[in-house]
Amino acid sequence: MCYWKASGSVGGVQRIDPRLLAIAGAAFISVSAILFRLSGVSSGTAAFFRCALALPVLAPLALWERRRAGPRRHAAADVAAGLLLGADLVLWGASIDRVGAGIATVLVNVQVVVVPLLALAVFGERPSRRFALAVPVMLGGVALAGGLAGHGTGADPVTGIVFGVGAGAAYAGYLFLTRVAGRGQSHRAQPVLLATCGAGAMAVALGAPWQGVDLAPGWAALGWLAALALTGQVCGWMLIGAALPRLRAEEGGTLLLLQPVLAVAFGAAVLGERPGALQIAGCALVLAAVRLAGRALGGRRASRPGTVPVRDDSAAGTAARPRMGART
Protein backbone atom coordinates (compact mmCIF):
# COMPACT_ATOMS: atom_id res chain seq x y z
CA MET A 1 0.00 0.00 0.00
CA CYS A 2 2.80 2.40 0.90
CA TYR A 3 4.57 1.48 -2.30
CA TRP A 4 1.53 2.18 -4.42
CA LYS A 5 1.33 5.64 -2.88
CA ALA A 6 5.04 6.36 -2.97
CA SER A 7 6.19 4.99 -6.30
CA GLY A 8 6.59 7.70 -8.89
CA SER A 9 6.32 5.06 -11.63
CA VAL A 10 2.71 4.30 -10.72
CA GLY A 11 0.35 6.59 -12.52
CA GLY A 12 -2.08 6.84 -9.62
CA VAL A 13 0.41 8.60 -7.37
CA GLN A 14 0.44 11.61 -9.67
CA ARG A 15 -3.21 12.19 -8.82
CA ILE A 16 -2.50 12.29 -5.08
CA ASP A 17 -1.78 15.71 -3.61
CA PRO A 18 1.96 15.67 -2.75
CA ARG A 19 1.21 17.67 0.40
CA LEU A 20 -0.86 14.77 1.70
CA LEU A 21 1.98 12.35 0.91
CA ALA A 22 4.48 14.58 2.76
CA ILE A 23 2.22 14.89 5.80
CA ALA A 24 1.66 11.12 5.90
CA GLY A 25 5.40 10.46 5.56
CA ALA A 26 6.23 12.92 8.34
CA ALA A 27 3.65 11.26 10.60
CA PHE A 28 5.18 7.83 9.99
CA ILE A 29 8.72 9.02 10.74
CA SER A 30 7.68 11.03 13.80
CA VAL A 31 7.02 7.80 15.74
CA SER A 32 10.51 6.39 15.04
CA ALA A 33 12.06 7.71 18.25
CA ILE A 34 9.13 6.39 20.29
CA LEU A 35 9.44 2.90 18.81
CA PHE A 36 13.20 2.93 19.43
CA ARG A 37 12.70 3.77 23.10
CA LEU A 38 10.00 1.13 23.48
CA SER A 39 12.29 -1.53 21.99
CA GLY A 40 14.79 -1.01 24.83
CA VAL A 41 17.82 -1.85 22.67
CA SER A 42 21.02 0.09 21.95
CA SER A 43 21.10 2.59 19.12
CA GLY A 44 23.41 0.33 17.09
CA THR A 45 21.04 -2.61 17.48
CA ALA A 46 18.03 -0.47 16.56
CA ALA A 47 19.74 0.99 13.49
CA PHE A 48 20.79 -2.47 12.27
CA PHE A 49 17.36 -4.09 12.69
CA ARG A 50 15.59 -1.02 11.33
CA CYS A 51 17.45 -1.65 8.09
CA ALA A 52 17.58 -5.46 8.13
CA LEU A 53 13.85 -5.91 8.78
CA ALA A 54 12.99 -3.43 6.02
CA LEU A 55 14.88 -5.37 3.34
CA PRO A 56 12.33 -8.20 2.89
CA VAL A 57 9.74 -5.53 2.07
CA LEU A 58 11.94 -3.25 -0.02
CA ALA A 59 13.68 -5.94 -2.10
CA PRO A 60 10.62 -7.25 -4.00
CA LEU A 61 9.35 -3.71 -4.48
CA ALA A 62 12.69 -2.64 -5.92
CA LEU A 63 12.76 -5.67 -8.23
CA TRP A 64 9.24 -4.91 -9.44
CA GLU A 65 10.20 -1.29 -10.00
CA ARG A 66 13.35 -2.29 -11.90
CA ARG A 67 11.29 -4.39 -14.29
CA ARG A 68 8.88 -1.50 -14.93
CA ALA A 69 11.19 1.53 -14.89
CA GLY A 70 14.63 0.07 -15.60
CA PRO A 71 17.76 0.02 -13.45
CA ARG A 72 18.65 2.85 -11.11
CA ARG A 73 21.49 5.16 -12.13
CA HIS A 74 23.88 6.58 -9.54
CA ALA A 75 23.56 3.46 -7.38
CA ALA A 76 26.97 4.12 -5.79
CA ALA A 77 25.75 7.53 -4.59
CA ASP A 78 22.69 5.87 -3.02
CA VAL A 79 24.90 3.44 -1.10
CA ALA A 80 27.25 6.25 -0.01
CA ALA A 81 24.25 8.24 1.17
CA GLY A 82 23.11 5.18 3.09
CA LEU A 83 26.45 5.02 4.92
CA LEU A 84 25.83 8.55 6.17
CA LEU A 85 22.28 7.61 7.07
CA GLY A 86 23.58 4.71 9.15
CA ALA A 87 25.86 7.07 11.08
CA ASP A 88 22.89 9.39 11.53
CA LEU A 89 20.71 6.59 12.94
CA VAL A 90 23.32 5.39 15.44
CA LEU A 91 24.15 8.91 16.67
CA TRP A 92 20.49 9.87 16.77
CA GLY A 93 19.66 6.83 18.89
CA ALA A 94 22.47 7.73 21.29
CA SER A 95 21.04 11.25 21.50
CA ILE A 96 17.57 9.88 22.29
CA ASP A 97 19.00 7.96 25.25
CA ARG A 98 20.43 11.20 26.67
CA VAL A 99 17.90 13.96 25.93
CA GLY A 100 14.67 12.09 25.16
CA ALA A 101 12.85 11.09 21.99
CA GLY A 102 11.10 14.37 21.25
CA ILE A 103 14.04 16.69 21.90
CA ALA A 104 16.47 14.48 19.94
CA THR A 105 14.16 14.71 16.94
CA VAL A 106 14.25 18.51 17.16
CA LEU A 107 18.04 18.60 17.54
CA VAL A 108 18.68 16.62 14.37
CA ASN A 109 17.19 19.49 12.36
CA VAL A 110 20.49 21.33 12.54
CA GLN A 111 20.96 19.71 9.12
CA VAL A 112 19.16 22.78 7.79
CA VAL A 113 22.42 24.66 8.39
CA VAL A 114 24.72 22.00 6.92
CA VAL A 115 22.93 21.32 3.62
CA PRO A 116 23.23 24.90 2.26
CA LEU A 117 26.90 24.95 3.32
CA LEU A 118 27.45 21.79 1.26
CA ALA A 119 25.70 23.43 -1.67
CA LEU A 120 28.00 26.46 -1.25
CA ALA A 121 31.15 24.31 -1.13
CA VAL A 122 30.22 22.03 -4.03
CA PHE A 123 28.11 24.19 -6.33
CA GLY A 124 29.01 27.73 -5.22
CA GLU A 125 25.47 28.55 -4.13
CA ARG A 126 25.61 31.41 -1.65
CA PRO A 127 23.13 31.31 1.24
CA SER A 128 20.85 34.32 1.53
CA ARG A 129 21.07 36.94 4.26
CA ARG A 130 17.90 35.53 5.78
CA PHE A 131 19.57 32.14 6.11
CA ALA A 132 22.59 33.73 7.84
CA LEU A 133 20.23 35.33 10.35
CA ALA A 134 18.56 31.96 11.00
CA VAL A 135 21.79 30.20 12.01
CA PRO A 136 22.34 31.81 15.46
CA VAL A 137 18.63 31.42 16.22
CA MET A 138 18.92 27.72 15.37
CA LEU A 139 22.00 27.22 17.57
CA GLY A 140 20.41 29.05 20.50
CA GLY A 141 17.28 26.94 20.16
CA VAL A 142 19.35 23.75 20.07
CA ALA A 143 21.05 24.70 23.34
CA LEU A 144 17.72 25.42 25.05
CA ALA A 145 15.99 22.35 23.63
CA GLY A 146 18.78 20.10 24.83
CA GLY A 147 18.34 21.34 28.40
CA LEU A 148 21.58 23.30 28.80
CA ALA A 149 19.69 26.06 30.60
CA GLY A 150 18.65 23.80 33.44
CA HIS A 151 15.70 21.47 33.04
CA GLY A 152 16.18 18.51 30.69
CA THR A 153 14.23 15.36 29.90
CA GLY A 154 17.39 13.25 29.67
CA ALA A 155 20.27 12.27 31.91
CA ASP A 156 23.11 13.81 29.88
CA PRO A 157 21.97 16.83 27.84
CA VAL A 158 25.44 18.04 26.84
CA THR A 159 26.49 14.72 25.31
CA GLY A 160 23.00 14.33 23.89
CA ILE A 161 23.34 17.63 22.06
CA VAL A 162 26.73 16.62 20.64
CA PHE A 163 25.32 13.33 19.34
CA GLY A 164 22.19 15.05 18.04
CA VAL A 165 24.18 17.67 16.13
CA GLY A 166 26.47 14.93 14.75
CA ALA A 167 23.40 13.02 13.60
CA GLY A 168 22.08 16.16 11.91
CA ALA A 169 25.39 16.65 10.06
CA ALA A 170 25.39 13.04 8.84
CA TYR A 171 21.76 13.36 7.86
CA ALA A 172 22.53 16.51 5.87
CA GLY A 173 25.14 14.60 3.87
CA TYR A 174 22.60 11.86 3.24
CA LEU A 175 20.00 14.36 2.02
CA PHE A 176 22.49 16.14 -0.18
CA LEU A 177 23.70 12.96 -1.90
CA THR A 178 20.25 11.50 -2.43
CA ARG A 179 18.92 14.75 -3.83
CA VAL A 180 21.77 15.02 -6.32
CA ALA A 181 21.52 11.34 -7.31
CA GLY A 182 17.75 11.42 -7.63
CA ARG A 183 17.32 14.33 -10.01
CA GLY A 184 15.49 13.39 -13.20
CA GLN A 185 14.66 9.86 -12.03
CA SER A 186 11.32 8.42 -10.97
CA HIS A 187 12.62 5.47 -8.96
CA ARG A 188 11.38 5.22 -5.37
CA ALA A 189 12.02 1.72 -4.02
CA GLN A 190 15.48 1.18 -5.52
CA PRO A 191 17.20 4.20 -3.91
CA VAL A 192 15.59 3.43 -0.55
CA LEU A 193 16.75 -0.19 -0.81
CA LEU A 194 20.34 0.76 -1.68
CA ALA A 195 20.49 3.41 1.03
CA THR A 196 19.07 0.94 3.54
CA CYS A 197 21.81 -1.58 2.69
CA GLY A 198 24.47 1.09 3.21
CA ALA A 199 22.86 2.25 6.44
CA GLY A 200 22.74 -1.28 7.82
CA ALA A 201 26.43 -1.81 7.06
CA MET A 202 27.36 1.45 8.80
CA ALA A 203 25.16 0.58 11.78
CA VAL A 204 27.25 -2.56 12.31
CA ALA A 205 30.59 -0.84 11.63
CA LEU A 206 29.87 2.04 14.01
CA GLY A 207 27.44 0.55 16.49
CA ALA A 208 29.11 -2.83 17.12
CA PRO A 209 32.44 -1.56 18.54
CA TRP A 210 30.76 1.34 20.35
CA GLN A 211 27.65 -0.13 21.97
CA GLY A 212 27.43 -3.61 20.52
CA VAL A 213 24.79 -4.98 18.17
CA ASP A 214 22.58 -7.57 19.82
CA LEU A 215 21.46 -10.07 17.17
CA ALA A 216 18.97 -11.69 19.57
CA PRO A 217 17.23 -8.84 21.40
CA GLY A 218 14.12 -10.85 22.22
CA TRP A 219 10.70 -11.18 20.60
CA ALA A 220 9.20 -8.12 22.25
CA ALA A 221 12.06 -5.91 21.08
CA LEU A 222 11.90 -7.43 17.59
CA GLY A 223 8.23 -6.53 17.41
CA TRP A 224 8.94 -2.87 18.14
CA LEU A 225 11.89 -2.89 15.73
CA ALA A 226 9.75 -4.43 12.98
CA ALA A 227 7.23 -1.64 13.49
CA LEU A 228 10.12 0.86 13.31
CA ALA A 229 11.36 -0.68 10.04
CA LEU A 230 7.93 -0.58 8.39
CA THR A 231 6.94 2.91 9.53
CA GLY A 232 10.23 4.80 9.52
CA GLN A 233 12.32 2.99 6.94
CA VAL A 234 9.74 1.87 4.38
CA CYS A 235 6.53 3.89 4.47
CA GLY A 236 7.91 7.17 5.76
CA TRP A 237 10.87 7.47 3.40
CA MET A 238 9.02 6.29 0.30
CA LEU A 239 6.09 8.62 0.86
CA ILE A 240 8.36 11.59 1.47
CA GLY A 241 10.59 10.63 -1.46
CA ALA A 242 7.55 10.66 -3.73
CA ALA A 243 6.18 13.94 -2.38
CA LEU A 244 9.06 16.41 -2.07
CA PRO A 245 10.32 16.41 -5.67
CA ARG A 246 6.83 17.67 -6.58
CA LEU A 247 6.82 20.46 -3.98
CA ARG A 248 8.64 23.74 -3.73
CA ALA A 249 11.49 23.60 -1.23
CA GLU A 250 9.76 26.01 1.14
CA GLU A 251 6.45 24.17 1.02
CA GLY A 252 7.99 20.73 1.51
CA GLY A 253 10.22 21.85 4.35
CA THR A 254 7.31 23.52 6.12
CA LEU A 255 5.14 20.40 5.91
CA LEU A 256 7.93 18.24 7.29
CA LEU A 257 8.18 20.46 10.36
CA LEU A 258 5.22 18.41 11.55
CA GLN A 259 7.70 15.63 12.31
CA PRO A 260 9.56 17.15 15.28
CA VAL A 261 6.36 18.69 16.61
CA LEU A 262 4.62 15.32 16.55
CA ALA A 263 7.70 13.61 18.02
CA VAL A 264 7.69 15.92 21.06
CA ALA A 265 3.93 15.38 21.49
CA PHE A 266 4.26 11.59 21.18
CA GLY A 267 7.20 11.59 23.58
CA ALA A 268 5.07 13.31 26.19
CA ALA A 269 1.99 11.16 25.59
CA VAL A 270 3.60 7.72 25.23
CA LEU A 271 6.87 7.92 27.16
CA GLY A 272 5.89 10.49 29.79
CA GLU A 273 8.62 12.93 28.71
CA ARG A 274 7.80 16.37 30.06
CA PRO A 275 9.93 19.10 28.49
CA GLY A 276 10.44 22.20 30.60
CA ALA A 277 9.31 25.66 29.55
CA LEU A 278 12.79 26.59 28.31
CA GLN A 279 13.03 23.37 26.30
CA ILE A 280 9.68 24.09 24.70
CA ALA A 281 10.91 27.61 23.93
CA GLY A 282 14.06 26.09 22.42
CA CYS A 283 11.97 23.79 20.23
CA ALA A 284 9.99 26.80 19.07
CA LEU A 285 13.22 28.65 18.22
CA VAL A 286 14.55 25.67 16.27
CA LEU A 287 11.34 25.36 14.28
CA ALA A 288 11.23 29.11 13.68
CA ALA A 289 14.82 29.04 12.42
CA VAL A 290 14.09 26.07 10.18
CA ARG A 291 11.07 27.90 8.84
CA LEU A 292 13.12 31.04 8.24
CA ALA A 293 15.90 29.10 6.54
CA GLY A 294 13.35 27.17 4.52
CA ARG A 295 11.86 30.42 3.23
CA ALA A 296 15.34 31.59 2.32
CA LEU A 297 16.01 28.39 0.38
CA GLY A 298 12.53 28.18 -1.03
CA GLY A 299 12.57 31.63 -2.56
CA ARG A 300 13.99 30.00 -5.64
CA ARG A 301 13.34 26.52 -6.96
CA ALA A 302 15.98 23.84 -6.75
CA SER A 303 17.38 24.59 -10.17
CA ARG A 304 20.80 23.16 -9.47
CA PRO A 305 21.76 19.68 -8.32
CA GLY A 306 23.00 20.98 -4.97
CA THR A 307 19.89 22.85 -3.94
CA VAL A 308 18.06 20.84 -1.33
CA PRO A 309 14.98 21.70 0.72
CA VAL A 310 14.88 21.60 4.47
CA ARG A 311 14.34 18.35 6.26
CA ASP A 312 14.25 15.27 9.16
CA ASP A 313 15.94 10.88 12.26
CA SER A 314 16.31 9.91 11.13
CA ALA A 315 16.91 9.93 9.04
CA ALA A 316 16.13 7.69 6.89
CA GLY A 317 14.26 7.77 2.45
CA THR A 318 15.12 9.95 -0.27
CA ALA A 319 15.28 13.05 1.44
CA ALA A 320 14.71 16.12 -0.14
CA ARG A 321 13.33 14.01 0.99
CA PRO A 322 14.12 12.28 4.49
CA ARG A 323 14.12 13.89 4.94
CA MET A 324 14.14 17.70 4.63
CA GLY A 325 12.69 19.41 7.52
CA ALA A 326 12.57 16.84 10.16
CA ARG A 327 13.28 13.20 11.13
CA THR A 328 14.98 9.61 11.68
Asked if pLDDT for residue 296 goes beyond 80, the answer is: no
Query: Of the candidates 25, 92, 66, which has an alpha carbon nearest to the alpha carbon of residue 262?
Result: 25
Lowest-confidence region among 96-110, 152-166, 303-317: 303-317
Asked if pLDDT for residue 316 goes beyond 50, the answer is: no
DSSP 261-314: HHHHHHHHHHH-----HHHHHHHHHHHHHHHHHHHHHHTS---STT--------
**pTM recorded for the entire structure:** 0.73
Alpha carbon of residue 291 to chain centroid? 17
Lowest-confidence region among 227-231, 274-278, 320-324: 320-324
Rounded distance between C-alpha atoms, residue 25 and residue 325, angstroms: 12
Q: For residue 4, name the pLDDT band (cuts at 50, 70, 90).
A: very low
CB 51 within 8 A of CB 203: yes
pLDDT number for residue 173: 86
- Helix 43-52 / helix 32-39 crossing angle, nearest 10 deg: 120
Give the 3-state secondary structure of residue 261: helix
Query: Of the candidates 1, 32, 14, 6, which has an alpha carbon nearest to the alpha carbon of residue 96?
Result: 32
pLDDT number for residue 256: 67
Residues 6 or more apart in contact with residue 145 via CB below 8 angstroms: 103, 106, 107, 275, 279, 282, 283, 285, 286
pLDDT number for residue 327: 53
CB atoms within 10 A of CB 270: 16
Asked if pLDDT for residue 190 goes beyond 80, the answer is: yes
pLDDT number for residue 5: 41
Q: For residue 318, name the pLDDT band (cuts at 50, 70, 90).
A: very low
- Which is it for the CA torsion 87, 312, 182, 307, positive or negative? negative
CB 87 within 8 A of CB 48: no
CB atoms within 10 A of CB 47: 37
Query: Of the candidates 72, 134, 142, 77, which has an alpha carbon nearest to the alpha carbon of residue 104?
Result: 142
Give the 3-state secondary structure of residue 91: helix
Residues 6 or more apart in contact with residue 121 via CB below 8 angstroms: none
Query: How is the chain split into domains, by residue range?
Result: 17-298
Question: Which amino acid is present at 286?
Answer: V
Q: What mean pLDDT, rounded, does the chain reach?
A: 75
CB 231 within 8 A of CB 297: no
230 DSSP assignment? I
- Helix (H) or strand (E) run with residue 67 in it: helix 55-69
Rounded distance between C-alpha atoms, residue 122 and residue 203, angstroms: 27
* Residue 150 zone, left/alpha/beta (φ > 0; ψ -120 to 50; rest): left
- Helix 32-39 / helix 219-228 crossing angle, nearest 10 deg: 170
Tens-place pLDDT, residues 262-282: 777 777 777 777 777 877 887
Q: For residue 257, name the pLDDT band (cuts at 50, 70, 90).
A: low
Q: For residue 91, name the pLDDT band (cuts at 50, 70, 90).
A: very high
Tens-place pLDDT, residues 5-56: 444 444 455 678 888 888 888 888 888 888 988 898 988 899 999 999 999 9
Q: What is the mean pLDDT of residues 110-124?
A: 75
Rounded distance between C-alpha atoms, residue 224 and residue 159, angstroms: 26
Backbone φ, ψ for residue 258 (5° rounding)? -65, -25
pLDDT number for residue 10: 43
Asked if pLDDT for residue 215 goes beyond 50, the answer is: yes
